[in-house]
Structure 1
Amino acid sequence: MMNICFWMRRTAALAVASLLVGCSLLKVTVSSGDPLPREQTAARMLTRGFYYDLSGEVARAADSIGSASADAGVRLAAVQWKIRASRAAVTAAMQGNPDVAMADMWILCRRMNASFAARPDSLLFGAQSPVARAAAARLERRAARLARQALPGGRYELMEEFVAGYVAAHPAAPVDGNDNTLLAWIEFLRERGVEPDYSTGSIAEVLSDINDRVSGQTQQIANTVGWTKEMIDIRLGQDSTRSQLGARLDSLERHFGRVVVVAEHLPEVSERLLTEINEQAAQLMETMNASVDNAFYGLERQRRELQQYVSDEREALIGQLHEAGGDLLRTALDALPALVGRIVFWLVVAFLVIVGGPFALGFWLGGVRQRARDRADGGRRS
């Protein structure tokens, strides 16, 4: 039975192989792809090399600002500048299209330079702001110089016009920090009568591109982790309570080391050290409890003060409303007699005009008519 199954499987495999060999429609090929033009290859290499130089220069400038300033806020801002600039730069430089990558790097440097030049020192890095401004200006000049070196004359003029127009239309980066300028660049070239190049390069170039992207993103993640730790250290250094707790923990660690060393030989010393450790732990807990109680007491006190302030303001507002209503009522009552007198006067005048006017006019017209009759009768008698 086993031999029959074996020969059946073998016969089926031979039949499938013969069908695949005989089928002329089944064809597996691997295309090597067209290599990138020389100009785009040079643009890609210069852009990615510029990314590493930009990250290094921004990191050196930020470290210089942090070491020269004692203000924790300035030091935190310098570390955040390193993280944001390098993150935006690696996203821009590692794009697949070399022209778009170079344009995005140029846009990044121009925005950085314009932002630093427009913002005052108080919103930048304090007294160390000139260091950041000088670095941003150098990076923008270098981005323009690299574009001129990598691109032919006509292509450079187009990219310069595109970068200037895009920065004017979008002076600030998006919320996520990434610009999607690929479609904008393609539409810009087509409006100028230039057909974009959609080639991605040969297999070797694509693999090298993927390797560069992975390497750049990995280095960026490692740098971000280190700089984030630096920010945490700066923030921890600002909190006196945490510093006190850290000192207490360090003291406990030293005492524990002493216990380990002498525990085997000096039991009485070990007991005394354990007692001291208990005291230190008790003090640590008291410090923590006092800090928490103080924080909650401060919040409760602020809440009571705010509630009292709101109550006082509400009572004052109600009193003002009552006073204003009383003044308005008194003013209305004081003005009421004069208003009634004026209304009566005008009613009398209106009555005289409406009733007495027609009566007087009729009486006068009757007299005129009677005199006219009398004159007529006198003329007939004569």
Structure 2
Amino acid sequence: MKHTSKFFSIIISLLMLNGCSLLEVKLESQSVPLTTAELNTRILTREYSKHFFSEVESAADEIALTYPKDDTLHQSYVLLWKIHAEEGLQRAAYQVSPKVALIDTWVFAAQMEQFFSPEGKGAELFDSDIDYKTSQALYVDIENMAEKLLSGSEFKAGKEFVTQFVKDHAFDSLMMRRTPALKAWLAHQNIDETEAVATLGTMPEALGDVSDRLGLVSEQTPKIMTWKAELIAMNSTINGNDVNKTLESLRNTSQSFQDFVKNNPEYMQNLAEQMSIQLQPLLDDLDMKTDDKLNQLSAERIALEAMVARERKELVDMVERERKAIAIIVTQEREKFTQDLDQVSQDVLTLAMDKVIDLIKSTIIYFILFILAIFFAPLGLGYFLGKRAAVKKTTV
């Protein structure tokens, strides 16, 4: 018996393991993997973002060296370029859909190139053209990469879209406020928004995407926070010494007040008594006014209740009057309807009797004609035939 139960336990365990493996296969089969082209697009786009960050930082540092350190305006421009360029591109490049990320990155590079171009609004921010040359080179790099990753027709359509989108959404300041190109791109390609992202990939691909994003945060956040702190410190009129002096002054004032209270208990007690004497009339007046307001509210509440009761009674009376009036109207209409029904019944009965009498008369007439036809038709026919026979006999 023990061997039998053990055998069944082994069978059940095997079935459970088999079921788990089937479940695992089923769950895995529900996730559609990214295609090779999509994986290559994602990898190369994110590699380009690192190249973009490096080039922007190098160009910005080179521009910063051309201005004195106390030139707050241009040094601030340099920091703003690094901050907003890298924040904007990382939002564009690290999207779920590889193709959308490529298009958005392409658009951002084109917008930055147009901003620093001689026709752009950022052409005169710096004395040198390092910013424009760097932006132009980055735009050429992303365009060449898109040409390799996309088919001929897709690249042509993408280039037309990027050119038009940059005209419609050009940067107007170093804030580089990015307008996402997703909806415009989907409309340009006649793609429904529900089909923008077909799949997130398999579990390893999704985990790889999350890992890339976490790596980006760990690399970029410290740099950007440092640049923002430098920008705030550069444009702030308060330095660390001023803050420390202010805090020390507040600390000394607080300590002096505490020492005064501790060393002068009689004065504080006298002050409390004087405050009590001075504030008592105010408290009494406040109590009196509060009582008056409460009494007034009570009177208004009673008046409101009386008004509500009166209105309720009038409403009930009005409803009762309307009900009685409606009952009278219904009774009158019922009587009129009954009279009309009686009259109609009499008219119908009279008409029916007239029709019956006419029918009886017609029936009697037809019956008489039928009798005449039955009895007199043979007699007349015999008379006619006999007379005709007599005429023939006389003639012969």
Give the TM-score normalised by the residue count of structure 1.
0.51
Q: Unaligned 5+ residue runs, structure 2? A: 1-11, 246-251, 253-396
Q: Return the alpha-carbon distance in structure 2 between the equivalents of residues 66 and 90 of structure 1.
A: 23
Matched, 1:153 2:152: yes
- How far apart are residue 74 of structure 1 and its match? 0.3
Give the Cα–Cα distance (whole angstroms) in 1 for the partners of residues 172 and 188 of structure 2: 19
* C-alpha distance in structure 2 between counterparts of 1:69 and 1:121, whole Å: 17
| Matches of 2:56 and 2:84, distance apart in 1 | 10
Q: Which residue in 2 is equivalent to 1:199?
A: 199
Aligned residues: 224
The answer on 1:91 being equivalent to 2:103 is no
Give unpaired runs (5+ residues) of structure 1. Answer: 1-16, 250-280, 282-382
Aligned match of 1:378: none
Judge conservation of contact 1:92–1:104 (CA < 8 Å) in 2.
Answer: yes
Give 1:86's aligned amino acid: E
CA distance in 2, matches of 1:222, 1:244: 25
1:72-109 residue CA offsets vs partner (Å, 9 max, x unmatched): 20011100100000000110000011111111111111
Q: Show the counterpart of 1:138.
A: 137
Contact 2:79–2:227 (CA under 8 A) maintained in structure 1: yes
**d(CA) in 2 for partners of 1:176, 1:72:** 20
Structural mapping, 1:106-185, within 5 Å: 106-117=106-117, 118-119=119-120, 123-125=124-126, 127-128=127-128, 130-172=129-171, 177-185=177-185
For the residues of structure 1 that align with 2:87 and 2:57, how far apart are their CA atoms?
Answer: 12
Post-superposition offset of 1:202: 1.5
| Cα displacement (A) at 1:225 | 0.9
What amino acid does structure 2 have at the position aligned with 1:171?
A
SS of the residue corresponding to residue 190 of structure 1 reads: coil
Quick one: distance in 1 between partners of 2:106 and 2:169? Answer: 14
Q: Distance in 2 between matches of 1:121 and 1:35?
A: 43
1:190 positional shift: 2.2
CA contact (8 A) 1:189 1:196 kept: no
Give yes or no for contact 1:190–1:196 (8 Å, CA) kept in 2: no
Which residue in 2 is equivalent to 1:52?
A: 50
Are residues 64 and 199 of structure 1, via their aligned partners in 2, closer, same or farther at CA, if it must alter by over 3 Å? Answer: same
Q: Are 1:221 and 2:216 matched, yes or no?
A: no
Distance 1:218 1:232, change over 3 A: same
Supply the distance in 2 between the matched residues of 1:73 and 1:142 (Cα, whole angstroms). Answer: 31
Distance 2:209 2:191 in 1: 29
Does the Cα contact within 8 Å between 2:115 and 2:172 map onto a contact in 1? no
Partner of 1:35: 33
CA distance in 2, matches of 1:176, 1:109: 11
1:291-370 paired onto structure 2 within 5 Å: none
Give the corresponding residue for 2:66. Answer: 68
Question: Which residue number in structure 2 is paired with residue 103 of structure 1?
Answer: 103
> Cα distance, 1:186 vs. partner?
2.4
1-structure distance, mates of 2:65, 2:102:
32
Aligned-residue Cα RMSD (Å) equals 3.6
**TM-aligned CA distance change 1:159 to 1:173, over 3 Å:** farther
Q: Is the 8 A contact 1:104 1:179 kept in 2?
A: no
Q: Is the CA contact 2:108–2:178 (under 8 Å) kept in the aligned structure 1?
A: no
Identity percentage of aligned residues? 25
Highest CA radius of gyration, 1 or 2? 2
Contact 1:46 1:150 in 2 (8 A): no
> Contact 1:34–1:201 at 8 Å: present in 2 too?
yes
CA deviation digits over 1:107-149, x for unaligned, max 9?
1111111111124778412x23x11111111111111011012
* SS of residue matched to 1:36: coil
Q: Secondary structure at the match of 2:200?
A: coil
CA distance in 2, matches of 1:87, 1:166: 20
8 Å CA contact 1:90–1:220 kept in 2: the answer is: no
- Superposed, 1:223-302 pairs within 5 Å as 223-235=223-235, 239=237, 242=239
